[in-house]
Amino acid sequence: MKKRMSQIAEIKSGYLFKEGIKSDKEGNVSVVQLKDVNDRGVLKPHDLQRISLDKIDSGNFLAVGDILLKAKTNKPVSAVVKEQLPSTIATAHYFVISIKKSDVLPGYLAWYLNQRPAQIYFDRNAGGTRIQVINKQLLSELEVVVPDLKTQEKIEKIYELHQKEQDLVEAIKERKHALILSQLLSVISK
């Protein structure tokens, strides 16, 4: 069954900063920026920049299960907020998608947004010249294939395991690279 995004979720823009982001290690708010979601759609929440904001509506804060979609980039990937991130907002480069139907799982929807049918839809319909820009109406009209919950759960779990595998493969590659370089350097240091 296909459903439009507008039927599945509430879509809102991330927080618009009028004057750039000013880092403050003692700040009261953490900010998810473009660099904090990798090209595979994984949110890296542990090194978020902190800022100080005097007035911020708590409705701007991210919740577990929210989906972040990079809307102002040439790589519109999405990621799920999987853990509680106290007082955390996303920049206006993102759409924050909150599912309003119990028949759609966040992990499934994020996976679907990263797949070829959605990516082709974005490529064909997004605006912008140098940087692709997905607007709210375009995202709202995207048709999403919604299988039964059991199928969604399987897809969500397999996708999560695949992401973990990719992280491990990257870590192994980095360690192997460092090991080989140190061994080569030791050969010429003798």
Among 91, 89, 73, smallest CA distance to 81 is for 89
Query: Dihedral (C-alpha) 122, 70, 68, 56: value to the nearest 10 degrees?
Result: -130
Q: What is the pLDDT of residue 18?
A: 82
| Secondary structure of residue 131 in the 3-state scheme | coil
Q: Using CA of residue 96, residue 126, residue 4, residue 82, what is the dihedral sign?
A: negative
H or E segment to which residue 13 belongs: strand 9-13
Q: What is the CA radius of gyration of the chain?
A: 19
Give dist(CA 68, CA 42) in Å, integer. Answer: 10
Q: What is the pLDDT of residue 105?
A: 97
Q: What is the pLDDT of residue 171?
A: 94
Among 108, 83, 109, 103, smallest CA distance to 11 is for 109
Q: What is the pLDDT of residue 5?
A: 96
Report if pTM > 0.75: yes
Q: What is the pLDDT of residue 57?
A: 84
* pLDDT per residue of the chain (190 residues) written in tens, 0 to 9: 999 999 999 999 999 988 888 888 888 999 999 999 999 999 999 889 999 988 888 889 999 999 999 999 888 999 999 999 999 999 999 999 999 988 999 999 999 999 999 999 999 999 888 888 999 999 999 999 999 999 999 999 999 999 999 999 999 999 999 999 999 999 998 7
Residue reference for tokens 């004057």: 19
Residue reference for tokens 């459903």: 3
